[in-house]
Amino acid sequence: MLSKQQIGKCGELLVQYKLLLKGIESAPLTTDSGVDLVAYAQQNERPITIQVKTNLKAKPSGGKGKLALDWWVPENSTAELFALADLSTQRVWLMNMKELQELAQQKSNGRFHIYMYIDDTVKPTKSNRIVFANEFEKYLLENCINKML
């Protein structure tokens, strides 16, 4: 059984690993200031800050519903990019604040809530939102690495 801190650290390491595979160096910060990693690509003129949010695995939506991944991200974060990690599949989605605001299905107590169902048989209550993991494909780190370059 992993602690919340261990799950979070695994997510950071997963993001670092995926970035390094793309030739992008990154390093963790030593304090929790809302930024977890600073990444640098040689093609970029300056480093980019990243906040990482991590799931160990999908959980029942609302405690009893269909399996979903979900993350809560503070709306006042100073990070430039947000990496949403799923350890069970080793997938990472990468978004900037504008994308996160547009994609978040809920906003509560100064946080954005973004979730994605892993079961595509779910019938969403609001059809104008993307809610299935396969609909977020363009945000997979491998597919949007140009945000870092």
Return the DSSP state at 62: G
Q: What is the mean pLDDT of residues 50-57?
A: 97
Query: What's the pLDDT tens digit per position in 100-127?
Result: 999 998 899 999 999 888 877 777 666 5
pLDDT of residue 65: 81
Q: Which residues partner with 143 through β-bridges?
A: none
pLDDT score recorded for residue 61: 83
123 CB contacts (<8 Å, ≥6 apart)?
Answer: none
Average pLDDT, whole number, for the chain? 90
- Structural domains of the chain sorted by starting position, each given as residue range(s) with its CATH number in brackets: 4-148 (3.40.1350.10)
pLDDT confidence bin for 51, thresholds 50/70/90: very high
What does the block give as tokens for 7? 């799950």
Q: What is the pTM of this model?
A: 0.91
Q: What single-letter amino acid sits at 80?
A: E
Residue with token string 């093609």:
43
With 80 as the cut, is the pLDDT of residue 16 above it? yes
Q: Which amino acid is at 120?
A: D
Question: Which of 42 and 109 is assigned the larger pLDDT?
Answer: 109
- Specify the DSSP class assigned to residue 68: E
Strands 67-74, 111-117: pairing kind: antiparallel
21 phi, psi to nearest 5 deg: -60, -25
Q: 24: helix, coil or strand?
A: coil
> Residue 73: what pLDDT?
96
